[in-house]
Amino acid sequence: MKKKIELSPNFSKKTRPKKDIKFVIIHYTGMQSEIESLKRLKNKRSKVSSHYFLNRSGAITQLVKDNKVAWHAGKSKWKNIVNLNKFSIGIELQNRGHRFGYENFPNSQIQSLIKLCKFLKKKYHIKPENFLGHSDISPLRKVDPGEKFPWKMLSNYKLGVWYKKKYLLLKKSANKNKSFFKNLYKIGYRYFNISKRAKKDRLVIKAFQQKFSPNKITGKIDLKLLKISHFLANN
């Protein structure tokens, strides 16, 4: 796999065993150019990095070796795991993000990402459900890679999960909210109380919608969203 190496100083020096690498976390840079993105990822003062950076044309730059912990996930949770940095490979995609004019992800960039993820999946035996977005593991503070990211396409390569429309058979639930958050908890999402609702729950709902219902990001639960969560929690 062709890649350029430009090492960042922003990583933990201790070498981690291969078996610890269980996740791939996908981000967007949220910056206005490739130069600006790489400058930040390699700036010691920023204390931010990733293992890989993919520009708009799909060229891959490795910034941190796989066996080192890059600083890309920050405060994060998924299932019973806290601090996903220790157990993941971080991939940054060049994209201006929601702040500077969110762009579609070019096919060349996505095809390169698929190739890289397939390589990582095979090398580290990463499960399909462990290919996640930054907003999955940090829904209260992150929205990347956002609603334009093609999760459905990646799921065709078993690089993520998706639902099957013909199996969305769930009938109406007596307690839609509680059922939805029970499903999310089973899938792996955190940062909420199953039984008690709070304002921040809208951010968790939106993170799920960005991924699985990108044309309707309301922060509100409807029957279709409940059905999707039910399918993913039980398949």
CA-wise closest residue to 92 among 62, 125, 126, 128: 62
The per-residue pLDDT for range 23-33, each reduced to its tens digit, is 999 999 999 99
Same domain, 132 and 189: no
- Which pTM value belongs to this model? 0.97
Q: Which of 155, 189, 223 is at the close of a domain? A: 155
Q: What is the CATH number of the domain that holds 37?
A: 3.40.80.10
Is 184 domain-assigned?
yes
- Cα Rg, the chain, nearest whole Å: 18
Cα atoms found within 13 Å of the Cα of residue 235, Cβ hemisphere only: 12
Same domain, 126 and 170: no
CA distances (Å), origin 107, targets 56, 116, 208: 9, 14, 23
The per-residue pLDDT for range 103-157, each reduced to its tens digit, is 999 999 999 999 999 999 999 999 999 999 999 999 999 999 999 999 999 999 9
Same domain, 136 and 222: no
pLDDT of residue 173: 65
Q: Any idea which residues carry the catalytic annotation?
A: 92
Q: Which of 155, 178, 200 is at the close of a domain? A: 155
Same domain, 108 and 170: no
Contacts of 106 (CB under 8 A, 6+ apart): 56, 57, 58
List the beta bridge partners of residue 5: 62
**Whole domain around residue 169: which residue ranges?**
165-233
Same domain, 148 and 126: yes
The per-residue pLDDT for range 59-86, each reduced to its tens digit, is 999 999 999 999 999 999 999 999 999 9
Number of domains in the chain: 2
Q: What is the CATH number of the domain that holds 184?
A: 1.10.101
Is 160 domain-assigned?
no
pLDDT of residue 207: 98
C-alpha 77/C-alpha 31 separation (Å) is 25
Is 81 domain-assigned?
yes
Asked if pLDDT for residue 1 goes beyond 90, the answer is: no
